[in-house]
Amino acid sequence: MAARTAGTHTGWPVPRRWARGQVPAAAVATSLVAGWAASGVAHRLSVRTGVCDEEAFGSWPGDEFIAHPMVEWTRGVSVHAPPERVWPWLAQMGYGRGGWYTPQWVDLFANRWVFGVKHPFPASASRLLPEYQQVAVGDLICDGPGYASYFRVLRVDPGHAVVYRSIRHPRRGSPIDITDPASPGRSEQQLREAGTYIDFTWALVLNELPGHRTRLLVRTRAKYAPPAIKVLSLPLGLFDATYGVAMLRAIARRAEGATPAGT
């Protein structure tokens, strides 16, 4: 058997300077560049998915509600159906309404780890629901069992955009008494005073394309407290990139397979 060279484990010789722990500068530089590139790709994916520069950096309905966000994410897909076929699926969104069209694993995570409920979420609707086609500014849209979380509807441009806003604890629900008009305001004020919250808008936008197609976009803009939550912005952005695009694709499939509204 060949004699082992000092500093090796396999019997293959290595340069003596490597054996003494002196890694070549070129190897260090290559590792740093690779790490920097991977970080850049992860950051880009966390803040934008499926959108061009114009869509990622342009102004959209709802941007006015949080003028200087600490976080902004924009996702998009193309739908082979006109906006009037897509809009009814957006109008009926909400827990206890048409659902959020999110993957089942997201629903299970939210149910068990955020809301502490063991039974499964209601399945998202696979058909249009006439009883939930009305959505208006001021509505409270449920986002969990017993209004454990909720959205306020801030803007509705029928056939074009719906904008929600929610202030909630990042780890658990913030239940309200839906029979008490003052309950949402109290809950939001308590979260702000406690100093741990995420305040975000969620805008779903439809832009018509030639050939009876639609660009379906979703944008999230947020501010938060305490500032330490910033360390979660990258992993949360990557999480959003996964389930956010899955949600948009689920809406697209439904709109592409549905008959026109009213027929």
| Banded model confidence at residue 37, pLDDT cuts 50, 70, 90 | very low
pTM recorded for the entire structure:
0.79
Read off the pLDDT of each residue in 57-62 and give the average, rounded to a whole number: 94
| Banded model confidence at residue 217, pLDDT cuts 50, 70, 90 | very high
Tell whether the model's pLDDT for residue 170 goes beyond 90.
Answer: no
Report the candidate in 23, 19, 21 with the shortest Cα–Cα distance to residue 9.
Answer: 19
Query: 231-252: per-residue pLDDT in tens?
Result: 888 888 887 888 889 999 999 9
Q: Return all residues near 168 (Cβ < 8 A) that are at least 6 apart.
A: 149, 174, 191, 197, 198
Tell whether the model's pLDDT for residue 16 goes beyond 50.
Answer: yes
DSSP state of 170: S
Report the candidate in 182, 99, 178, 123 with the shortest Cα–Cα distance to residue 146.
Answer: 178
Lowest mean pLDDT among 52-56, 91-95, 181-185, 240-244: 240-244
Read off the pLDDT of each residue in 52-74 and give the average, rounded to a whole number: 94
The more confident residue out of 27 and 47 is 47
Query: Can you say whether residue 150 is alpha, beta or left, with left for phi > 0 and alpha for psi between -120 and 50 degrees?
Result: beta
Sign of CA dihedral 190, 194, 196, 198: positive
